[in-house]
Amino acid sequence: MPKKLLLSIAAALAAFSLAACGADGDESASEETEQSQQGEQAMPEPELDNIPDVVAVVNDREISGEAFAESYEAQFQQLAMQSQMTGEEPNQDELKSQALEMMINSELLTMEAEEQGFSSSEEDVDELLSTMAEENGMESGEALMKEFEAQGLSKERVREDLHKEVLIQQVIEDLDVAEPTDDELQEMYDQQVEQLEAMNEQVEEDQAQEVPPFEEMEEQLTEQATMEKENEVLSGLLEELREQADIETHL
């Protein structure tokens, strides 16, 4: 099963996640049209004029400017929609830097997967695509692929990045991640209860939310704590891989 954690690491998969969350098919498109008709300010455009042919080299493996531009443009579309609501222009230099770092991390983890002997088949990609479609409320992998293409991502590029995602998942599943303890779960529960109680103090009594018992939240807390531990271990692995890697950036 794909983890939300992974979608924040691989640059293209980050774009997939943003696109899927920001576009639920016709509803999203109609909302965007309605906003346009209401005369809101024009959406900013991604700055792609000065993207070099090669944006980075990771251990002699090139990340092309074309691949970077495709991923960045898909991500930027969603961020631009958010900027319309806030009235704040996105910092494109900062966004490009973040997007490039995600692509570098993706390459490093893909290389680590290959080094460990993991593999990715077309069937694996189809399964991941179908699962992602289900998680984002879409009827099929084909429907999700059409959404990606509408966001400016080519089918070939989507499948290439999903192959990487399958490999990265195997690396993460192989990590030694400690299970959350009862004390850790209780601490997380107490923190969430405090936050909910603080929110209830800011609203009318009839709008206050009931604090659920620990037993009802235990499964959710366990998933959240496990993901946080995976992130921590994965960050450590990426730090090691970066220290050992030869990385050149040209952006």
- Predicted pLDDT at 251: 87
Q: Using only the alpha carbons of the chain, give its radius of gyration.
A: 20
Any residues with CB less than 8 A from the CB of 154 and at least 6 apart, and which? 70
Strand, coil or helix: 209: coil
- Predicted pLDDT at 104: 94
Global model pTM greater than 0.85: no
- Predicted pLDDT at 44: 76
Query: Is residue 20 predicted with pLDDT exceeding 80?
Result: no
- Rounded mean pLDDT of 105-127? 95
- Rounded mean pLDDT of 44-65? 92
| Alpha helix positions (H), 116-251 | 122-135, 141-150, 155-173, 182-200, 214-244
Q: How far is it, in rounded angstroms, from Cα 16 to Cα 21?
A: 8
Beta bridge partners of 6: none
Q: How far is it, in rounded angstroms, from Cα 231 to Cα 177?
A: 10
- Range from 16-25, 60-69, 120-129 carrying the lowest mean pLDDT: 16-25
Query: Is residue 208 predicted with pLDDT exceeding 50?
Result: yes
- Rounded mean pLDDT of 10-34? 43
Read off the pLDDT band of 40 (50, 70, 90): low
Q: Enter the tokens of residue 124.
A: 């694996």
Q: What is the per-residue pLDDT across 170-183, written as a single tens digit (0 to 9) for each? A: 999 999 999 999 99
Read off the pLDDT band of 192 (50, 70, 90): very high
Read off the pLDDT band of 116 (50, 70, 90): very high
Burial class (CB in 10 A: 0-12, 13-18, 19+), 109: buried
Query: Is residue 39 predicted with pLDDT exceeding 70?
Result: no
Find out whether 97 and 251 touch, Cβ atoms under 8 Å.
Answer: yes
Q: How far is it, in rounded angstroms, from Cα 99 to Cα 167?
A: 20
Domains of the chain (ranges plus CATH)? 4-176 (1.10.4030.10)
- Predicted pLDDT at 148: 83
Q: Around 221, how many Cα atoms within 13 Å sit in the side-chain half-sphere?
A: 21
Find out whether 227 and 3 touch, Cβ atoms under 8 Å.
Answer: yes
- 139 vs 153, more confident: 139
- Predicted pLDDT at 22: 42
Q: How far is it, in rounded angstroms, from Cα 90 to Cα 80?
A: 7
Q: How far is it, in rounded angstroms, from Cα 65 to Cα 48?
A: 9
Read off the pLDDT band of 28 (50, 70, 90): very low
- Predicted pLDDT at 72: 86
Q: Which residue has the tokens 């195997």?
A: 170
When the pLDDT of each residue in the chain is averaged and rounded to a whole number, the result is 82
Find out whether 128 and 162 touch, Cβ atoms under 8 Å.
Answer: yes
Using N-to-C axis directions, what is the helix angle for 122-135 and 141-150, rounded to 10°?
80
- Predicted pLDDT at 42: 66
Find out whether 155 and 141 touch, Cβ atoms under 8 Å.
Answer: no
